[in-house]
Structure 1
Amino acid sequence: MHADVPEYRPGYATEFADDYDRWFAKPGITGATVEALAALAGAGPVLELGVGTGRLALPLRELGIEVHGVDGSESMVRRLHAKPGGAGTPVTIGDFADVPVSGTFSLVYLAGGTFAELPDQAAQMRCVANAAARLAPGGLFVLDAHVPEALATAAGPEIVAEGPGHLVLCHRTLDPSTQRYRSHYVIHEDGRTRHLRVEFRYAGHGELDLMAFRAGLRLKERWGGWTGAPFTRDSGYHVSVYERAEGA
């Protein structure tokens, strides 16, 4: 199962923007995600909600795909723009649930569990509806998410990152009564230990399908990961590909 990507709140982003890629940009996952998104992008342009430090946007741009982004953290976006090729990536600062951009896109996507950062069902429904409104005819809306049942049965802490002098562990606790989970990140580095708590609101794939249907989208494909593996009873998370329905 892939690690959570902590939400882009100003306090978190200010402190950890420089460490974000080192801890969460796993080459294997990133490469598979970029390859899948490039295959879905069509003629572009594409829009990433929660673009962050450009982990996905910049490799897509290197493939010749026009990428726009939305993010709530100026610190994360400064990090993106400081990278090679990052200065030319257009990013709108704002709440990605509002999709505060103009124009239409062949692909609108969220990755790394970003959709679960939205605080409640109303915000998640708003995000899906606003993303659908920005799709060109035949456009795709794509997101990945944990399978709630897999979250509930996951045991023990997960190693997010480790290396000389640092270790980052994640332990999740669930509250099924509110469909929320909390990720506890214990970060030990340079002889100092910090504890970070990040809240998420999870939705099962059936609920996501209903949100998409209400927004004029229909499920096209669902995978068990960004490699395109089948989604089965043993899948820990999924990648759902929705397309704009005819006449929507």
Structure 2
Amino acid sequence: MIDQQRLWDHEAAQSYDTPGQGVFAPEVLEPAVRTLARLADGGSAVEFAIGTGRVGIALHEAGVGVRGIELSRAMLERLREKIGPEELPVVEGSMTTALAGIGHTLVYLVFNTISNLLTQEEQVQCFRNAARHLAPGGRFVVELWVPQLRALAPGHGGTVEASEDGYLLVDTIDIHSQRLTSHHIRFDPRVDGSREARIGRTPHRYIWPSELDLMGQLAGFELEHRWADWAGAEFTAESPSHVSVYRLLRDPAAER
């Protein structure tokens, strides 16, 4: 059993924010916010796993009423340093079960976070919980990477995903269980031959796009769009990630 509070602790919360860089860079964040604001279609939105508020705060500032759900107390504390609960309410809990109101027009889950749920059952429950939050016709948006199993060399169980000054990202993959563990290795690039390095590991369960679509069908959704990025580029067999937009077909209240 993974201790999520320990995994997403204060160190993770503080290091996640990189203003103006990485996932906080304007060219990354602004297209996501514009697209989500359009998909909200004048209604309110719920962000599953809102974290430190990277997207939620920006969407709130764009004029969309946003609520959040967050499991990590450390991430929530960091968010509260930036915005108060009267402006952006957040429910502490799991995105598989916690409820942040009903009748919303948009629920969204960004930056591969659905893969933090480590079983297929939990991932299906995440879709069902999204449906609980939505009015009929509402949308659930999932941003997720495509498993790059073609990069695995024969006889090897891992890939090097990043190699930069002071940082290596190595993913190890168990194809049988669809489990992937990211190993984040940070070191001082100025010291040749140093034995000192810091290693952090994050576990995931990867999901194929077709499997994700089936999860949506089980919860009453149909796939409306699949793009290669937030700007709406065409998704192809070579795309490393996707933004998938699901539309709710039936009223979940009728099944309760």
**8 Å Cα contact 2:95/2:126 also seen in 1:** yes
- TM-score, normalisation: structure 1: 0.87
Corresponding position of 2:11: 15
Q: Trace 1:152-171 onto structure 2 (pairs within 5 A).
A: 152-153=150-151, 156-158=160-162, 167-171=166-170
Separation in 1 of the partners of 2:106 and 2:228? 20
- Find 1:226's aligned residue among 230, 235, 238: 230
Q: CA RMSD in A?
A: 2.4
- The structural deviation recorded for 1:229 is 0.5
Which amino acid letter does the alignment assign opposite residue 111 of structure 2?
G
Shift of 1:87: 6.3
Post-superposition offset of 1:187: 2.2
CA shift, 1:90, in A, is 0.5
- Aligned residue for 1:131? 130
- Which one has the largest radius of gyration? 2
Separation (CA, whole Å) in 2 of partners of 1:25 and 1:230: 21
CA distance in 2, matches of 1:182, 1:221: 29
The residue number in structure 1 matching 2:75 is 76
Corresponding residue of 1:3: none
Distance (whole Å) between structure 1 residues aligned to residue 24 and residue 232 of structure 2: 17
Query: Which letter does structure 1 place at the counterpart of 2:51?
Result: G
Per mean C-alpha deviation after superposition, the further-off stretch among 185-194 and 130-139 is 185-194
Provide structure 2 residue ranges, at least 5 long, that are not aligned to the other structure. 153-158
Structure 2 residue aligned with 1:235: 239
The alpha-carbon distance between structure 1 residues 63 and 151, as it changes in their structure 2 partners (threshold 3 A), is farther
In the alignment, structure 1 residue 208 sits paired with structure 2 residue 212:
yes
Q: Is contact 1:111–1:144 with CA below 8 Å preserved after alignment?
A: yes
1:203 is displaced (CA, Å) by 1.1
Classify the secondary structure of the residue corresponding to 2:210. Answer: helix
Identity among equivalent positions (%) equals 35
Residue 156 of structure 2 is matched in structure 1 by none
For 1:168 and 1:115, locate their aligned partners in 2 and report how far apart those are by CA, in whole Å: 25
Q: State the alpha-carbon separation in 1 of the partners of residues 200 and 175 from structure 2.
A: 21
What runs of 5+ residues in structure 1 fail to find an aligned partner? 1-6
Query: SS of the residue aligned with 2:198?
Result: strand
| Alpha-carbon contact 2:171-2:181 (below 8 Å) kept | yes
Alpha-carbon distance, 1:104 to partner: 2.1
Distance in 2, Cα, partners of 1:88 & 1:113: 26
Tell me if the contact between 2:91 and 2:98 (Cα under 8 Å) persists in the aligned partners.
Answer: no
Using CA pairs under 8 Å that are at least 6 residues apart, name the structure with larger relative contact order, 1 or 2.
Answer: 1
After superposition, the Cα gap between the structure-2 partners of 1:35 and 1:85, relative to the gap in structure 1 and judged at 3 Å, is farther
* Gap change, CA 1:48 and 1:189, over 3 Å in 2: farther
Measured against aligned partners, the alpha-carbon deviations of 1:189-243 in whole angstroms (never above 9, x if no partner) come to: 6986310111000111111111111111000000011111100011011111000
Displacement of 1:246 after TM fit?
Answer: 4.8
The alignment of Structure 1 onto Structure 2 pairs a total of residues equal to: 236
Q: Residue 60 of structure 1 aligns with which residue?
A: 59
Range 31-40 or range 70-79, more displaced:
31-40
